Structure 1
Amino acid sequence: MKGITLIDYEAVIQPRRGPDGKIISGLIVADTLHQNQALILHLHKGELKERPMTGCGISDMLLDNDPIYWRTLIREQLEMDRQTVTNIKITTKSIEIDAQY
């Protein structure tokens, strides 16, 4: 899926002007799969005004020891975003997600 690219949760805006001075392009459009996954993992429920039930809040995972809960939550959230999830692996050092739109 293509969409507006974010860097540090801000839209990348690089306006280019034509010979007449008008803006002809400016937003960076690219594949947003990994960006969307990162946002879903990072957000806590209620932080996204347009979709208040979106978010895993993985910062809460730090002192938790129930990886099955987190794997289930992540899968549900990604599927709510219409991603097809093949596999989610949670280790002590990373979260590996195999999913596509």
Structure 2
Amino acid sequence: MAKDKGILLDPATDDLQIDATRDAQGVVVRGLAVGETAVQNQGLILRAFKGEYKEYPTLGAGISDILGDHEIVGWRREIALQLQADGMKVREVELDMANNKLTIDAAYGS
């Protein structure tokens, strides 16, 4: 199963994104929003700490620990390794601490 398509989460709450569609009788025929998940998965991996995903205990970058850290090269490497572990091809990870900006160019597949 491809990882780039899947169930979407609400970006504000991380709850399942519900997009209920009802038929003429009012019965729900579709409910969960499905779409592109690469960016969603990147965010989840960045925020997660190792051990949070019990099936994959080494997955997670723990990005909140970057605050006050000056080891930018290590963080770029860790982020790239974590995204690669999830099957993404990482082209670039750029951290701009002066402007609090993180840029990721990574996607599933080729």
Whether TM-score is above 0.5 comes out as: yes
1:16, 1:83 → 2: CA distance? 32
Aligned length: 101
Structure 2 unaligned spans of 5+: none
2:42 counterpart of 1:44: no
Q: Which of 54, 73, 95 is the matching residue for 2:102?
A: 95
Matches of residues 2-41 of structure 1 in structure 2 within 5 Å?
2-7=5-10, 8-41=13-46
2:89, 2:52 → 1: CA distance? 24
* 2:78 counterpart residue number: 73
TM-score, normalised to structure 2, is 0.85
* 2:68 counterpart residue number: 63
TM-score, normalised to structure 1, is 0.92
Structure 1 unaligned spans of 5+: none
Measured on the aligned residues, the alpha-carbon RMSD in Å equals 1.2
Name segments (4+ residues, structure 1) moved above 3 Å.
Answer: none
What's the CA shift string for 1:44-81, capped at 9, x where partnerless? Answer: 11112222211000110102110111111101100001
